[in-house]
A and B are shown apart, each in its own frame.
With several copies, the nearest count.
Chain A
Amino acid sequence: MSRRDPSPESALSDEPLRIGRHEFRSRLLLGTGKYPSHDVMRACHEAAATECVTVAVRRVDLSGREKSLLDWIDRGRITLLPNTAGCFTVEDALRTARLGREAGLSELVKLEVLADPGTLLPDPVATLEATRQLVKEGFVVLAYCSDDPILARHLEQAGAAAVMPLGSPIGSGQGINNPRNIRLIKDSLRVPVLVDAGVGTPSDVTLAFELGIDGVLLNSAIALARDPVRMAAAMHHAALAGRHGFLAGRIAVTEHGRASSPESGKIAAATR
């Protein structure tokens, strides 16, 4: 290594996250729900330096009084990812995805087919069926799913452009309940793996990336934090910390200590 030291910048070189024809330098995807205000949301998107945010598809306000969410999203920097949040059947998910594409002129869709309003857990069977259909229709499907490694494989084989296993239930803040499964999924898939749902803290995000995954999508952890903008900035750093911690190759864990200072050259020990 030369005496010209690498700067932190070069130390942090990384390839972009690629999903379909899209490229993202930031590996943190955010939501647009539950913020105290649209202004705070926009500030959080900036603080997190995100380049992709999910949006829900809902009936337009016929009174026309509501201002459009999109006025607070810089479409130049940020890609919209329509989702099918709140759908409990394959058909509703398909209809919502089609409406989202028509409204957003984008083929991207975050597919959620949930089993019930109580657990908000994804239905593996319905999600697989909807993925097959949407792929047929030309969608670029990011499939939200459980952390069952074999289900993730089926979704990849069904044509999903990315697989998004949950860390824990949506909005629960439990973090990554089964890191081994997340690693298994990453190790056996070729498409990008993004952890979606359940993240509560920056360390959850850092840990997720240390498992080798390609991205994290979160919403409540920022939107409902006491200071959302600060938390957004924290999440930005957490993603970089975990991603580069993974790329840098951690030290091995040992049962006993290993000295950090030289054993030799000590002054003569005092006679005890």
Chain B
Amino acid sequence: MSAPITIEINGEARTLRAPLTVRELLTELALPVERLAIELNRGLLPRTEFERALADGDRLEIVTFVGGG
């Protein structure tokens, strides 16, 4: 049982239990996997890598589609 980690999600800092994968995080946040995309530390994180474990200090951008012109 490791120490909690602090990561930044969409600009907000959050402290979370570890270990935790991206997919687990999405489940926790009740976000649907299929309509969103994720950037991890400024780089695109493909869906194929959602099993990856989050590390302390990681910065995530989780985006989806909204109305626009």
A260 to chain B, nearest CB (A): 2
Interface window among A32-40, A128-136, A202-210, A233-241:
A32-40
Instruction: State whether B66 touches A55 (Cβ < 8 A).
Output: yes
A105 and chain B: residue at smallest CB distance: B34
CA distance A258 to B48 in the complex (A): 38
Contact with B along A54-97 (1 / 0, CB 8 A): 11111110101000111000000000101101000000000100
B24 to chain A, nearest CB (A): 15
Instruction: Report the contact-size class of chain B (Cβ under 8 Å from the partner).
Output: 20 to 34
Complex partner residue of B65 from A62, A64, A82, A260, CB under 8 angstroms: A82
Instruction: State whether A268 touches B61 (Cβ < 8 A).
Output: yes
Instruction: State whether B68 touches A33 (Cβ < 8 A).
Output: yes
Q: Does any Cβ of B come within 8 Å of A170's Cβ? A: yes
Q: Does any Cβ of B come within 8 Å of A212's Cβ? A: no
Contact with B along A208-252 (1 / 0, CB 8 A): 000000000011100100000000000000000000000000000
B interface residues (Cβ-Cβ under 8 A, vs A)? 9-12, 29-32, 35-39, 42, 44, 46-47, 59, 61-69
Chain A to chain B contacts (Cβ below 8 Å), 8 pairs: A32-B67, A55-B65, A62-B31, A69-B67, A98-B37, A219-B69, A260-B68, A261-B68
